[in-house]
């Protein structure tokens, strides 16, 4: 099974593109596509990337914010350093409420954007996996409330399922514009979608 998965991965269009363009993961193209559609990342932005390892989304964010911006990657795993003075990393648990203060200590000012591509450990039990995915988004949302500037933007991956309506209601209470989108770079058959929030306001 492992060998078959590796062969499929090598045949994958976005995997091959990522290797060619020197992105750390094929997921970089998901952020690029979503950003093209929703203009989430702007020049000079301060960005917090949750669940950032191995750093593909950080690479895209750094391209978009330019030298005047700043990108902080947060993950339980250590993220290998990027060759940018305006990038930093933090080893921390995004489900821990204390992480918000650790993030703020690393930022030059309140964040303009919080993004999360965090995934739960997959158990194979769908209801459990979806519940864990939703809980990660809730954690990302709590962190966003602590670090986002008014009017800020939010993006998070979630698995579709019965808990989506309640989650979307929470996000709508905090953002003026909310949309659910699935980029073409997501694998066929994947249940993942991305929730976009723009115009942050405290509930």
Residues with a catalytic annotation lie at 157
* Nearby residues of 151 by Cβ (< 8 Å), 6 or more positions away: 199, 200
Q: Name the nearest CA neighbour of 192 among 139, 138, 113, 116.
A: 116
Report how far apart, in Å, the C-alpha atoms of 35 and of each of 32, 90, 113 are.
Answer: 5, 24, 11
Residue 87, both tokens: 């990038």
Cα gap 33→50, rounded to integer Å: 18
């Amino acid at each position: 099974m492992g060998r078959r998965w590796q062969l499929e991965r090598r045949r994958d269009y976005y995997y091959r593109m990522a290797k060619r363009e020197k992105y750390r993961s094929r997921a970089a193209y998901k952020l690029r596509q979503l950003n093209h559609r929703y203009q989430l990342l702007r020049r000079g932005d301060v960005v917090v990337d949750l669940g950032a390892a191995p750093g593909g989304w950080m690479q895209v964010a750094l391209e978009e914010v330019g030298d005047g911006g700043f990108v902080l990657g947060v993950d339980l795993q250590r993220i290998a350093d990027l060759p940018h003075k305006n990038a930093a990393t933090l080893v921390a648990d995004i489900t821990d409420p204390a992480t918000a203060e650790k993030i703020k200590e690393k930022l030059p000012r309140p964040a303009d954007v919080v993004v999360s591509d965090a995934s739960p450990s997959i158990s194979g039990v769908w209801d459990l996996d979806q519940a864990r995915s939703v809980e990660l988004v809730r954690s990302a949302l709590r962190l966003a409330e602590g670090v986002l500037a008014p009017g800020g933007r939010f993006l998070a991956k979630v698995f579709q399922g019965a808990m989506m309506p309640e989650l979307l209601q929470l996000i709508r209470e905090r953002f003026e514009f909310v949309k659910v989108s699935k980029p073409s770079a997501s694998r066929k058959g994947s249940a993942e979608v991305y929730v976009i929030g723009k115009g942050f306001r405290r509930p």
